[in-house]
Amino acid sequence: MLFLTAAIILCLPYYSYSQTSPGSETERYDRADAEIIKVQVREILSQPEFSPTKTFWQWLSEKLSRWNWEGPKFNLGYQWKEFFLWVAITWCVLALAAILIHVAWTASLLFRTGQSPRIATRGFNTETARITSFDELYLMACNLAEKKAFREAISLLILALLRWLDYRSIIRFHESKTNGDYAREFPSVNAGRGEFMKFISMFEQTIYGRRYSDEQTYRQMNFLMEQIQAGAAPKK
């Protein structure tokens, strides 16, 4: 009996330690609700230093996924999608560049036409510019053309035509006016307006541009002048 009592007393501390050891019982914690976790995650991600960055393709995919478009679906890979997207972007950029170039080119033509020198007296002295007779000016142009001086003949040709139109009260000739002024002043109801615009354009390309002033150009402008004179009467 004494031996049994001594054994129980010796085993009592070991039993107490085993009951209080960390591994004997698992500590339990309250689990947070899923909605609370989502709210906390959103709060963390809303901060600039923790917010994730989206690529352009992710942003575009999200925008396109919101469309309720039930069209044909093609199972294309990511590389093909990227290829077609770049083709569309390149086409838009080239189209925009072409439009801007066309606008700049048109503006330069208008500016150049509006700032042209005094075409009626270009290359001639004051006495020649003051000649008002169409026949006299046209004869001088023909004589210059016979001498192969087609550039000077073309300059006299337009001077003769402007004097003739001024005599017919279709336009008002003045040394300070430019080709653009005469083109705007020419009546739209006149049958020769189209030929007059071609005449002015050909003169601009020959005298101020890169068009070669030769006999063919002189004859073409001479023919246009005859058409302008034939259609000088206003349309009925």
In a domain, 59, yes or no: no
State phi, psi for 49 to the nearest 5 degrees. -75, -15
Give CA torsion, residues 199, 200, 205, 206, to 10 deg: 70
Listed as ranges, residues in the chain with pLDDT below 70 are 1-30, 32, 48-54, 67-78, 109-129, 233-236
In this structure, is residue 39 part of a structural domain? no
Query: Whole-angstrom Cα distance, residue 121 to residue 115?
Result: 15
pLDDT at residue 109, rounded to an integer: 61
Give the integer Cα–Cα distance in Å for 199 and 182. Answer: 11
Asked whether residue 178 is assigned to any structural domain, the reply reads yes
- pLDDT digit string, tens, across residues 130-144: 777 888 889 999 999
Q: What is the pLDDT of residue 4?
A: 56
Taking the C-alpha atoms of residue 50 and residue 39, their distance in angstroms, rounded to an integer, is 15
In a domain, 38, yes or no: no
**Domain count along the chain:** 1
Residue 107 lies in a domain: no
Which residues constitute the domain of residue 127?
119-230
In this structure, are residues 130 and 139 in contact, taking their beta carbons and an 8 Å threshold?
Answer: no
Q: 3-class DSSP state for residue 191?
A: coil
**Residue 126: per-residue pLDDT:** 61
